[in-house]
A and B are shown apart, each in its own frame.
Chain A
Amino acid sequence: MAGGKGGSSGVSDRVAAVAAWPVQRIFGLLEYPLAAIQRSVGISRMPWIFLLPNLAFFGIFVVVPLFINFAFSFTGGTELFLGNRVYTGTEQYEFLLDCETFGDPTTCREDRFWKGLYNTAIFIFFQVTFLVLFSLITALILNREIRGRGFFRAVFFFPVLLSPVVVALIWKWVLLRDGILNAFLVSIGLDKILFFVSPEWSMFWAVFVSIWAHMGFYTLILLAGLQAIQPDLYEAAEMDGASKERVFWRITLPLLWPNMLVVIVLALIKGVQIFDEVFVLTGGGPGTATQFIVQYIYNTGFTEQVQNFGLASAASVVLGIILFVLTMTQLAATRARDNG
Chain B
Amino acid sequence: MKYKIAKLLVASSLAATLMTSTALAETELRMMWYNDGNEGEVIQKIIDRFEAENPDISVVLDVVPYKSIIESLPIQLAAGEGPDIARVTDLGGLGKYYLDLKPLVEDSAYWEESFGPFLNWLAPDSDQISGFMTQLTVTGPYVNKTLFEQAGVEMPGEGATWDDWATATNAVAKKLDIPIPMAWDRSGHRVAGPAIAMGAKMFNAQGEPALVDDGLKKMSQRLYDWHQDGTMSKELWGSVSGSTYLGANEDFANAQVVMYMSGSWQIPQFADKIGDAFDWWAVPAPCGDAACTGMPGGAALVALKDTEHPKEVAKLMDFLAQEENLAEFYGETLFIPGHLKLATGGVDFATDDPRAKHALETFSGAVPGISPVAFDLQGYKNNRIMFNALISRLNEAIVGELTMDQAYERMEDDVAKQLAEKERN
Is the CB–CB distance between B424 and A76 below 8 Å?
Answer: yes
B406 touches A106 (CB 8 A): yes
Q: Could you tell me if B79 and A286 are in contact, using CB atoms closer than 8 angstroms?
A: no
Greatest chain B CB density within 10 A among A77, A81, A111, A287 is at A287
Docked complex Cα distance between A283 and B421 (Å): 26
Determine the chain A residues whose CB is within 8 A of the CB of B78 once the complex forms.
78-80
Contact A286 B388 (CB under 8 A): no
Q: CB of A285 within 8 A of chain B?
A: yes
Q: B399, A285: Cβ atoms under 8 Å?
A: yes
Contact residue among B75, B90, B179, B425 (Cβ-Cβ distance under 8 Å from A302)? B75
Q: Which residues of the partner chain A approach B402 to less than 8 Å between Cβ atoms?
A: 106
Report yes or no: B234 in contact with A194, Cβ–Cβ below 8 A.
Answer: yes
Determine whether the beta carbon of A285 is less than 8 Å from that of B418.
Answer: no
Closest to B93 in A: A305
Give the chain A neighbours of B406 by CB distance below 8 A.
Answer: 106
Chain A CB count within 10 A is highest, among B79, B410, B422, for B422
Does A307 lie at the interface of the complex (its beta carbon under 8 Å from any beta carbon of B)? yes
Interface status of A313 (Cβ within 8 A of chain B): no
* Across-interface contacts of A88 in B (CB, < 8 A): 424
Q: Is A79 touching B425 in the complex (CB atoms < 8 A)?
A: yes
Note all chain A residues with C-beta closer than 8 A to B152.
none
Q: Is the interface of A mostly helix, strand, loop or mixed?
A: loop
State the Cβ distance, B409 to closest chain A Cβ, in Å. Answer: 10
B74 CB within 8 Å of chain A = yes
**B65-99 with Cβ < 8 A to chain A:** 70-71, 74-75, 78-79, 90, 93
Report whether B425 and A305 are in contact in the complex, using a CB–CB cutoff of 8 Å: no
Is the Cβ of B421 less than 8 Å from the Cβ of A287?
no
Q: Kindly list chain A residues whose C-beta atoms are within 8 Å of the C-beta of B93.
A: 305
Counting chain A CB atoms within 10 Å of each CB, which of B243, B395, B424 scores highest? B424
Complex contact B242–A286 (CB within 8 A) = no
- Report B40 CB to chain A, min CB distance, Å: 24
Q: Please state if B90 and A305 are interface contacts (CB–CB under 8 Å).
A: yes
A282 and B239 within 8 A (CB): yes
Query: Are A308 and B418 neighbours in the complex by a CB distance under 8 Å?
Result: yes
Residues 127-174 of B contacting A (Cβ, < 8 Å) = none
B244 contact from A76, A196, A283, A307, Cβ within 8 A: A283
Quote the shortest CB–CB distance from A172 to chain B (angstroms). 10
How many chain A residues touch B (CB < 8 A): the figure is 37
Q: Which of B90, B234, B382 contacts A286 (CB 8 A)?
A: B234
Flag if A284 contacts B235 (CB, 8 Å). Answer: no
Given A283-B239, A285-B241, A285-B399; A303-B71 close (CB under 8 Å) = yes
Bound together, the chains give a CA A280 to CA B70 distance in angstroms of 18
Whole-angstrom distance between the alpha carbons of A299 and B240 in the complex? 13
Q: Are A285 and B74 in contact (CB under 8 A)?
A: no
Among candidates A286, A291, A295, A299, residue contacting B239 with C-beta atoms closer than 8 Å: A286
**Whole-angstrom CA separation of A288 from B397 in the bound complex:** 11
A78 CB contacts on chain B under 8 angstroms: 78, 421-422, 424-425
Which parts of A228-284 form the interface with B (CB within 8 Å)?
282-284
Which residues of chain B are near A177, meaning CB under 8 Å?
179, 235
Interface membership of B401, Cβ < 8 A? yes
Nearest Cβ in chain A — how far from B423, in angstroms?
Answer: 8
| Docked CA distance A306–B417 (Å) | 10
A283 to B243, CA, bound (A): 10
A286 to B240, CA, bound (A): 5
Decide: A284 near B241, CB < 8 A? Known: A304-B388, A305-B90.
yes
Contact with A along B318-359 (1 / 0, CB 8 A): 000000000000000000000000000000000000000000
Interchain Cβ contacts under 8 Å between A and B, 29 examples:
A78-B78, A78-B424, A80-B78, A80-B79, A81-B79, A86-B424, A194-B234, A197-B234, A197-B235, A283-B244, A284-B240, A284-B242, A285-B244, A285-B399, A286-B234, A286-B239, A286-B240, A287-B238, A287-B395, A287-B399, A287-B400, A289-B401, A291-B242, A302-B75, A303-B71, A303-B243, A306-B422, A308-B421, A310-B421
What would 6 more interface pairs be, CB under 8 Å, given A196-B235, A286-B234, A303-B242? A197-B239, A282-B239, A282-B240, A287-B396, A302-B71, A306-B382
B residues adjacent to A (C-beta < 8 A): 70-71, 74-75, 78-79, 90, 93, 179, 234-235, 238-244, 382, 384-385, 388, 395-396, 398-402, 406, 410, 413, 418-419, 421-422, 424-425
Which residues of A approach B to under 8 Å, CB–CB?
76-81, 86, 88, 106, 109, 111, 177, 194, 196-197, 199, 282-291, 295, 299, 302-308, 310-311
